[in-house]
Amino acid sequence: MRALLLFCMYTLLEMSNLSAQTPKLSSGTITRYEKFASNFVESRTVDVWLPDGYTSKKKYAVIYMHDGQMLFDASTTWNKQEWEVDETMGKLLKEGKIKDCIVVAVWNINGLRRAEYFPKKAIDYLEEPERSKAQNEQFLADQYLQFLVKELKPFIDKNYATRKEAASTFLMGSSMGGLISLYGVCEYPEVFGGAACLSIHSPLLTDARVMQNPDNEYAAALRAYVSEKLPQSPKRKIYFDYGTATLDALYQQTQPKLDASMENAGYTAKHWITKKFEGAAHDEIAWAKRLHIPLTFLLKK
């Protein structure tokens, strides 16, 4: 029950835009675009983090990160936690462990997070009558990805010194943010060269049924979708992880089966890794502690 309550808190509160204050940073700078307009989704805040020494004379890889208001400054977030993106990116860049990179932090919208991050086409793999029931829900993930691909990425590529090719363009998120990251690579492999999916919520559901059966028909539908849609030529970099505490404890039932789908699709350690973190919970503190691992996997020189 505690895990379900925790997930409900994330579903309802994580998307709250609690502060318009520009984050305090340990490294780099942020340019904020409030109410970034879109023809596909509601306007939202987008923060662009640039590393120390950023210059137009270089070219930079780009990571598009979801739940953008949770990434940089705990004093501005609903739970007083953060991913520590600026600290970790700054350290890895200073140590020369990753390629030059900028981060585009895309905020979520109050009340729309689940709709925008739910991989809609996985519904097609449900059995009846569940498939028909699910069709009545609101799903906006395809529109959200169109926003990223057709509006936000062209803007970033026009205004910043980016490497535009897929091999230098990545997605990253946690929980349902992990779902939309995986979905983005499957739907737009020509745009995104990889995804980091921390604590990916592969059970898909966000109600009491998750507690009763984490490895439910929705989790099976996601695996079926991944098995068919996972990019093959060329393969893309995919990172998964999960903890063993709070909501992450449920993923001990679902992640191994998702891993089996990756194996069956021919993915090996060159393009895909899954890591288990004993005692790690479903929160920004846990994700911050291991953020260096997916960043290094995606951006290693």
Read off the tokens for 7: 């997930």
Q: Is the pLDDT assigned to residue 183 strictly greater than 80?
A: yes
pTM check: above 0.85: yes
Task: In whole angstroms, give the CA distance from residue 44 to residue 189.
Answer: 25
Q: What is the pLDDT of residue 17?
A: 46
* pLDDT, mean of residues 134-157: 96
Q: What is the pLDDT of residue 82?
A: 87
For position 98, which CATH number holds? 3.40.50.1820
Q: What is the pLDDT of residue 92?
A: 98
Q: Is the pLDDT assigned to residue 18 strictly greater than 80?
A: no
User: Is the bond into 154 cis (omega within 30 degrees of 0)?
Assistant: no
Q: Is the pLDDT assigned to residue 4 strictly greater than 70?
A: no
Q: Which domain holds residue 165?
A: 2-299
Q: How many CB atoms lie within 10 A of CB 239?
A: 26
* Percent of the chain surpassing pLDDT 70: 93
CA-CA distances (angstroms) from residue 133 to 60, 124, 137, 223, 268? 44, 12, 8, 19, 36
Q: Is 276 in contact with 70 (CB distance < 8 Å)?
A: no
Strand order in the sheet with 61-65: 29-36, 44-50, 101-106, 61-65, 169-174, 194-198, 237-243, 272-277
Alpha helix (H) residue ranges in 56-212: 85-94, 113-117, 130-134, 141-146, 153-159, 176-187, 208-212
* pLDDT, mean of residues 279-288: 97
Task: In whole angstroms, give the CA distance from residue 80 to residue 98.
Answer: 28
Task: In whole angstroms, give the CA distance from residue 159 to residue 279.
Answer: 42
Q: Is the pLDDT assigned to residue 212 strictly greater than 60?
A: yes
3-state secondary structure of 285: helix
13: confidence class by pLDDT, cuts 50, 70, 90: very low
Q: What is the pLDDT of residue 176?
A: 98
Q: Is the pLDDT assigned to residue 9 strictly greater than 70?
A: no
pLDDT single digits (tens) 114-134: 999 999 999 999 999 999 999
Read off the tokens for 156: 């970033």
Q: What is the pLDDT of residue 12?
A: 46
Q: Tell me which residue of 168, 176, 175 sits closest to 194, measured CA to CA.
A: 168
Q: Specify the number of domains making up the chain.
A: 1
Ramachandran angles phi, psi of 206, nearest 5°: -130, 30
* pLDDT, mean of residues 40-65: 98
Q: What is the pLDDT of residue 121?
A: 97
How many CA within 13 A on the CB side of residue 250? Answer: 28
7: confidence class by pLDDT, cuts 50, 70, 90: low
Query: Tokens 């390629």 label which residue?
Result: 99
3-state secondary structure of 35: strand
Q: What is the pLDDT of residue 86?
A: 97
Ramachandran angles phi, psi of 3, nearest 5°: -65, -40
Ramachandran angles phi, psi of 221, nearest 5°: -65, -40
Non-local (6+) Cβ contacts of 29 within 8 A are 49, 50, 54
Q: What's the chain's average pLDDT?
A: 93
> Which uninterrupted H or E stretch holds 20?
none
Count of residues making up the chain: 301
* Percent of the chain surpassing pLDDT 90: 85
